[in-house]
Amino acid sequence: MRRPLSLRARLALGYGLFFAAVLTLMSVGVYWLVRQALITEARQGVAAAAELIQQDFAASAGPLPGYFSDPEALLRSLPARLTELDTPAFYVQVSDRDGEFSIGSASLRGQRLPLAPTDQTAALGGATTTQIFTLGRGRVIQLSAPLLTDGAVVGVLQVAQSLRPVDQTLQVLMAGLAITGLIALVAAVRGSVWIVGRSLGPVNEITSTARQIFQAADLARRVPASPADDEIGALADTINAMLERLESLFTAQRRFVADVSHELRTPLTAMRGHLELLQRGVVHDDADHAEMTADLLREVNRLSRMANDLLLLAQAEVGLQLRYAPLALDELVLEVVRELRTLGEGVALRPQLAEQVAISGDRDRIKQALINLVANAIQHSPAGGTVTVGLDQSGAAAHLRVRDEGPGIAPDDLPHVFERFYRADRARAQRTGGAGLGLSIAQWVARAHGGEVAVESDPGQGATFIISLPLTPHPSASPAGVAHGTPAA
């Protein structure tokens, strides 16, 4: 199978063909202009010669046969400036109206200038015609004009000039154009190959580096940046940005898989141990049996919640559609507080509504995000503490605030609290059954509505999570996904 030409070869070939076409058009134009100029000059020459002969004949006032009866009359009677008519460059022939009397200059050497019937008729009618034809071994240009005496046409005057100098000049010009054009074309092709090679050098480096990255699966490498701020440099920057994004995604994916494996291994190991004990029949006490069954149910619920949360985040990444509708946030806050009050386990839930606020959003998703934040606050609040769920409005945004009285979040942990499976206190999270996905879901819900979620905390002073939502749907709001292992972009 024939191998296709490389980009470098195609560019060089295309540039060469384009230059050849331009050069050909220029050569044809130059040739045509020079040819027209030389032919025009020759036509003006024979016209001037015919005019001088006509003037001299009219001044003689003699009859045509008497004036031209002597072959040497053309030279004797013409002014000195027309003695060149006897040279091979000019040919003169005179004939009467009937064509019975005809005489030619010595330069004809006994030959006759052809006179077409149409040219003869035109000349006898007082018109002048010009034509180019072959005479002997070369071309000539001939002017056929009426010969006048006292305004009456008495004959036909033919003046011709050899075009051999013109043809020789055109031949030299054509040869010169061909040779210089060929040299210029070769130089242009060689130059285009060199220019294309230098221009595509960075592309070859990018291709080689990209191939090495693919073969070695080393996303940490980057393609060399182009020193020039041009399209190649923009391509290199784009590829490097893509590689950086891919590296972060693959790193996050590996971390995500490891976290999921870790999160699944703990409850599955506990469930397996309990089931093995039940299968062996070593548990005889009803209280131990009930406790073990409760542990199994708790672990199953935990796995179920984790699966649901992972499914939601996966759907968010592929474009989960939100159902926008008018939503009273103050009513939603009261509803969440009422539903979670019984789950407080000694922690008081208190709504704090500054005003009634209504937005347009997906009620189920916003409620889920608020429940996640409240549940997280309950888990991190000590017995006897209080979790405040507040609502206020500033500008064009509504703010849902969930504040707890827990130990707070360390400064080093603050940038990571919205990452999947990230937990500052893993031992405590294992006891409370959290999987570290609730805050990621809350962040996705806020961003999907065109808003944002933030956290404010100082160690020992509790933490406040704030969901800011626009009062009206933002044009850029979309069900954007959450990156694996990193806050969603």
Is the Cβ–Cβ distance between 309 and 437 less than 8 Å?
Answer: yes
**pLDDT of res. 51:** 87
Domains of the chain by start residue, with CATH: 7-169 (3.30.450.20), 269-470 (3.30.565.10)
Q: What is the pLDDT of residues 142-153, one digit of tens each?
A: 999 998 888 888
Using H for helix, E for strand and C for coil, what is the string for 54-99? HHHHHHHCCCHHHHHCCCCHHHHHCCHHHHHHHCCCEEEEEEECCC
> Residue 470 in contact with residue 396, Cβ under 8 Å?
yes
Sign of CA dihedral 277, 280, 282, 284: positive
Q: Are 435 and 302 in contact (CB under 8 A)?
A: yes
Q: What share of residues in the chain are helix, strand, coil (percent, to 5)?
A: 55, 15, 25
Q: What is the mean pLDDT of residues 401-423?
A: 82
CB-based contacts of 126, cutoff 8 Å, min separation 6? 146, 153
Would the CA dihedral through 227, 232, 233, 236 be positive or negative? negative
* Residues whose CB is less than 8 angstroms from the CB of residue 93 and which lie 6 or more positions away in sequence, other chains included: 102, 103, 104, 105, 108, 112, 113, 115, 157, 158, 160
Distance CA 146, CA 169 (A): 32
CA pair distance 400, 390, nearest whole angstrom: 6
131: pLDDT strictly greater than 50: yes
pLDDT of residue 424: 59
Q: Which long-range contacts (CB under 8 A, 24 or more apart) does 213-222 make?
A: 213/243, 219/243, 219/246, 219/247, 219/250, 220/247
- Tell me the Ramachandran region of residue 150: left when phi exceeds 0, alpha when psi lies from -120 to 50, beta otherwise: left
Measured distance CA(390)–CA(352) in Å, rounded: 4
Mean local confidence (pLDDT), 231-250: 78
In this predicted structure, the answer to whether residue 324 has a pLDDT above a threshold of 90 is no
pTM exceeding the 0.85 threshold for the entire prediction: no
pLDDT at position 175: 93
Bigger pLDDT: 36 or 282? Answer: 36
Higher pLDDT, 281 or 125: 125
